[in-house]
């Protein structure tokens, strides 16, 4: 029997990628360096293409992730760190920015998914860009940050410096790691040195020679006095070194050669199971080892490679480990890795499971007690007083024990606090189903008991049902062309002529259609939304004309406009009325090399007032007015830039690139009570696509690609039904989409095919 006594229960662990439907589709920052990436029990964060911190919920998977709007606006940054106690509803996040500050935010929303971020403070003390930030494992009021060769230990309660260290002058610190008790931390740097610091004492700093290669190294604490580093030797081989702090870093106690690939290895250690994962930048495989740190003499037997190796669906660039409290323990999942693909667009969830014959019961042998992600072992004052812990409180992952503990704690707390009398037997009134009341009334449900003077029952927490998947009411929408032709024999021509006829006039049109004659080619025209008989035209001569149509229709050509004024020195490409403010008109023009948008008050057509001028970088191809307060002007330029202006003060609020394709796009605000902007354009492969953006920060919320065609699509949005109609010149079909403004999903419904190509 002795030959089986030391067999590890994690020896046969299996790494398996989730189904494709459970992938996360993101838009992470793509650069030569791996973007910062970290996960908690319920969400993960990464640096997006706008150089901001983007938050995603773990339970929202697939292409139509509704949480892409959760952005913490920080400016460009190099690293960020979630608090180790991110299981709480509110927890801090620290971000090391390029402006030499460490910005701290409070993130709220673990259970309710009502995301919010609150700015707490900006820590100033570094002279250059902040490279690394890391929270203390025992309290979220202590933080490490580095800038080149400088290390600062922060007291976040007072925004003050606890301690400050400097390494060699030619060093740049590449990574930090706290020990499990939070009193010391280690670093590796560009000078190929490994260092150990006491966070509260400048003395007793240990230093040793780490990896001799020129590429970056990484570091992580193991259990007890052991530290692991990954790096390159002089022959450019990737290697792992195990260090014992009791040896004063004179040399590693064990070194293991991996291979000769060029990607930097990121060590991820699970202290509960003793499993070390190695995720290399640009690798496909994820290597894992069992590390036994219980022995006083660390040798080859203490470092065992995993039995079953793993390959991801594609190469990956960054990785993160999900908190233990976010795992599916009833399926034998002991760990879960998140791998960010090399194109920075997909995250692969990888579950690490221990095979068992049955998963009906909780397996205590593979789930040792773990550290809490909600309760801090030390307070800020205790840490500053140099209080040390001999052991860290641990908590069970057994769901049944957690429920029993919560019940007992709630009853004891309420009994001590409120001095409740013992609960007596009583008859409970019959109540309607909780699920039905939650689903239809969406109100908090409280069980009612007959009132007795000696009895008070603490209110039990309401179990929230998982929301049902949303189904569009218009999923069976169809289009049908009339059998009879409403209007036939339409004629067109040059010379700035606009034909006008009654909409209720069916059949073949007369040979001579009465027209509005402008005297110059018309580039755009609009009906006044507040005056049905007024039509405004924009022409190549830079003039805007007003035509007032008779109530009974136009009988003959109308050559003289009711009013006319010169709006631009060059041709006017487009005009637009404000939807809620009467007599507010926008016009765009190249303006002889200085493209701009003018905003006019046309209350008095004899003397129109130019209220604002919005200067842009290139010729305007599309514009839209909207927003919650109807105060935003969005423009798309020929240089593929998308700009948002405040029409009240004329300031430029945000700008970004619109679509990767070279053709123009069209803009449309989605309703009068939202800040969501729809942009219809082309992707890099000339595929037509729809983008929904938040006009406040121009962050992309959802993207939907659907076909390949050269024609530019015109969007028409019905706010009452949330249906988006897309029609392109030369197309014979009209595509219909359902825009879900609650979950931010674009659902394709159907296509309506007409009798011929549209213009």
Per-residue pLDDT averaged across 471-482, rounded?
66
Residue 679, classified by CB atoms within 10 Å of its CB into exposed (0-12), middle (13-18) or buried (19+), is buried
Using pLDDT thresholds of 50, 70 and 90, give the confidence band for residue 60: confident
Edge-to-edge strand list for the sheet holding 37-39:
37-39, 43-47, 53-57, 71-72
Distance CA 307, CA 14 (A): 9
In whole angstroms, give the CA distance from residue 287 to residue 338: 14
Lowest model confidence (mean pLDDT) among 34-43, 269-278, 462-471, 612-621? 462-471
Diameter of the chain by CA atoms?
107
The three state secondary structure string of 648-693 is CCCCEEEEEECCCCCCCCEEEECCCCCCEEEEEEECCCCEEEEEEE
| Range with the poorest average pLDDT among 188-202, 416-430, 683-697, 745-759 | 416-430
The total number of residues shown for the chain amounts to: 759
pLDDT for 524 equals 92
Domains of the chain plus CATH, in order, are: 2-366 (2.130.10.10), 616-759 (2.130.10.10)
Neighbour-count burial of 756, counting CB atoms closer than 10 A to its CB (0-12 exposed, 13-18 middle, 19+ buried): exposed
Q: What is the pLDDT of residues 368-423, one digit of tens each?
A: 999 988 889 888 889 888 887 878 888 889 888 755 444 444 444 444 444 434 43
Does the pLDDT of residue 450 top 60, yes or no? no
Q: How many CA atoms lie within 13 A of 311 on its CB side?
A: 2
Structure confidence at residue 556 as a pLDDT band (50, 70, 90): confident
> Which of 664, 628, 41 lies closest to 336 in space, CA to CA?
41
Q: Cβ(154)–Cβ(140) under 8 Å?
A: no
Strands 723-728 and 254-259: unpaired
- Cβ proximity of 318 and 29 under 8 Å: no
26 exposure class (CB count in 10 Å sphere: 0-12, 13-18, 19+): buried
231-276 tens-digit pLDDT: 999 999 999 999 998 888 889 999 999 988 889 999 999 999 999 9
For residue 17 the two structure tokens come to: 């990628």
Q: What is the DSSP string of 456-490?
A: --PPPPPPPPPPPPP--TTTT------SS-SEE--
Q: Which residues contact 687 (CB under 8 A, 6 or more apart)?
A: 705, 706, 707, 708
| DSSP assigned state of 354 | -
What's the mean pLDDT in 280-285?
92
Residue whose tokens read 């008095």: 604
User: Tokens 């025209």 label which residue?
Assistant: 525
Predicted local distance difference test score (pLDDT) of residue 188: 95
Rounded Cα gap, residues 147 and 101, in angstroms: 10
- Give per-residue pLDDT as tens, 491-538: 666 668 888 888 777 667 777 888 888 888 999 999 999 998 899 999
pLDDT of residue 346: 92
Q: What is the rounded average pLDDT for all residues in the chain?
A: 83
pLDDT for 472 beyond 90:
no
Q: E strand or H helix at 751, and its extent?
A: strand 745-753
The average pLDDT across 470-485 equals: 63
* 477-485 contacts, C-beta under 8 A, 24 or more apart: 477/723, 477/736, 477/749, 477/750, 478/750, 478/752, 479/734, 479/736, 479/750, 479/751, 479/752, 479/753, 480/752, 481/754, 481/755
Put simply, whether the predicted model's pTM sits higher than 0.75 gets the answer no
pLDDT at res. 293: 79
Give pLDDT tens digits for 603-652.
998 889 999 999 998 999 999 999 888 899 999 999 889 999 999 998 99
Whether 437 shows a pLDDT value over 60: the answer reads no
Q: Residue 314: pLDDT band by 50, 70, 90 thresholds?
A: very high
Confidence of residue 454 (pLDDT cuts 50, 70, 90): very low
SS3 4: helix
What DSSP assignment string belongs to 224-272? TTEEEEEEE-TT--EEEEEEEGGGTTSS-SEEEEEES--SPEEEEEETT
Nearest alpha-carbon partner for 139 in 77, 92, 190: 92
């Amino acid at each position: 029997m002795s030959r089986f006594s030391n067999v590890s229960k994690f020896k046969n662990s299996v790494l398996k990628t989730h189904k494709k439907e459970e992938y996360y589709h993101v838009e992470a920052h793509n650069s030569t360096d791996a973007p910062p990436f970290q996960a908690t029990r319920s969400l993960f964060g990464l640096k997006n293409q706008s150089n901001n911190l983007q938050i995603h919920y773990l339970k929202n998977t697939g292409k139509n992730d509704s949480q892409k709007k959760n952005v913490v606006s920080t400016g460009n940054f190099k690293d960020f760190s979630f608090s180790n106690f991110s299981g709480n509803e509110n927890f801090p996040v620290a971000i090391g920015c390029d402006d030499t500050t460490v910005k701290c935010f409070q993130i709220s929303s673990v259970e309710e998914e009502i995301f919010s971020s609150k700015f707490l403070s900006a820590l100033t003390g570094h002279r250059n860009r902040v490279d690394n930030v890391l929270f203390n494992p025992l309290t979220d009021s202590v933080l490490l940050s580095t800038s080149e060769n400088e290390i600062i230990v922060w007291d976040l309660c007072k925004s003050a410096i606890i301690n400050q260290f400097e390494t060699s002058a030619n060093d740049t610190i590449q990574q930090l790691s706290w020990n499990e008790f939070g009193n010391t931390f280690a670093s590796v740097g560009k000078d190929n040195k490994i260092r150990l610091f006491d966070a509260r004492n400048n003395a007793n700093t240990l230093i040793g020679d780490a990896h001799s290669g020129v590429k970056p190294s990484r570091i992580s604490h193991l259990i007890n006095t052991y530290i692991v580093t990954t790096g390159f030797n002089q022959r450019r081989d990737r290697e792992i070194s195990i260090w014992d702090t009791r040896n004063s870093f004179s040399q590693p106690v064990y070194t293991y050669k991996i291979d000769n690939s060029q990607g930097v290895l990121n060590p991820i250690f699970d202290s509960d199971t003793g499993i070390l994962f190695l995720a290399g930048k640009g690798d496909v495989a994820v290597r894992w080892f069992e590390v036994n740190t219980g022995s006083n003499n660390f040798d080859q037997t203490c470092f065992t490679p995993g039995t079953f190796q793993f390959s991801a669906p594609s190469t990956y660039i960054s990785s993160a480990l999900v908190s233990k409290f976010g795992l599916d323990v009833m399926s034998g999942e002991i760990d879960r890795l998140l791998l960010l693909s090399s194109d920075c667009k997909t995250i692969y969830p990888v579950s690490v499971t221990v095979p068992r014959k049955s998963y009906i019961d909780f397996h205590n042998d593979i789930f040792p007690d773990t550290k809490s992600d909600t309760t801090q072992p030390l307070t800020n004052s205790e840490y500053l007083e140099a209080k040390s812990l001999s052991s860290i409180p641990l908590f069970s992952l057994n769901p049944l024990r957690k429920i029993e503990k919560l019940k007992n704690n709630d009853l004891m707390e309420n009994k001590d606090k409120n001095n409740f009398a013992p609960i007596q037997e009583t008859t409970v009134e019959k109540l309607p189903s909780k699920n039905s009341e939650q689903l239809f009334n969406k109100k908090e449900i409280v069980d009612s008991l007959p009132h007795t003077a000696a009895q008070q029952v603490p209110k039990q927490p309401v179990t929230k049902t998982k929301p049902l998947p949303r189904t569009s009411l218009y999923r069976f929408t169809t289009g049908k062309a009339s059998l009879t032709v409403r209007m036939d024999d339409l004629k067109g021509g040059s010379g700035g002529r606009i034909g006008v006829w009654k909409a209720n006039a069916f059949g073949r049109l007369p040979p001579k259609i009465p027209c509005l004659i402008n005297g110059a080619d018309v580039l755009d025209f609009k009906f006044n939304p507040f005056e049905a008989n007024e039509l405004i035209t924009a022409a190549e001569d830079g003039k805007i004309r007003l035509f007032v149509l008779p109530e009974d229709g136009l009988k003959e050509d109308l050559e003289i406009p009711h009013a006319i004024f010169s709006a631009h020195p060059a041709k006017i490409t487009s005009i637009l009325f404000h939807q809620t403010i009467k007599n507010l008109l926008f016009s765009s023009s190249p303006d002889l090399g200085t493209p701009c948008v003018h905003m006019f008050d046309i209350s008095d057509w004899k003397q129109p007032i130019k209220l604002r001028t919005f200067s842009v970088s290139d010729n305007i191809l599309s514009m839209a007015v909207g927003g919650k307060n109807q105060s935003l002007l969005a423009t798309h330029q020929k240089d593929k830039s998308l700009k948002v202006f405040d029409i009240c003060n004329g300031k430029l609020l945000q700008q970004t690139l619109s679509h990767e394709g070279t053709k123009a796009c069209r803009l449309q605000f989605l309703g009068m009570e939202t800040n969501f902007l729809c942009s219809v354009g082309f992707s890099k492969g000339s595929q037509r696509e729809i983008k929904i953006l938040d006009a406040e920060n121009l962050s992309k919320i959802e993207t939907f690609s659907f076909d390949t065609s050269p024609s530019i699509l015109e969007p028409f949005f019905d706010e009452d039904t949330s249906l988006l109609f897309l029609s392109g010149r030369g197309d014979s079909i009209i595509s219909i989409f359902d825009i879900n403004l609650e979950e931010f999903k674009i659902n394709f419904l159907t296509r309506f095919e007409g009798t011929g190509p549209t213009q």
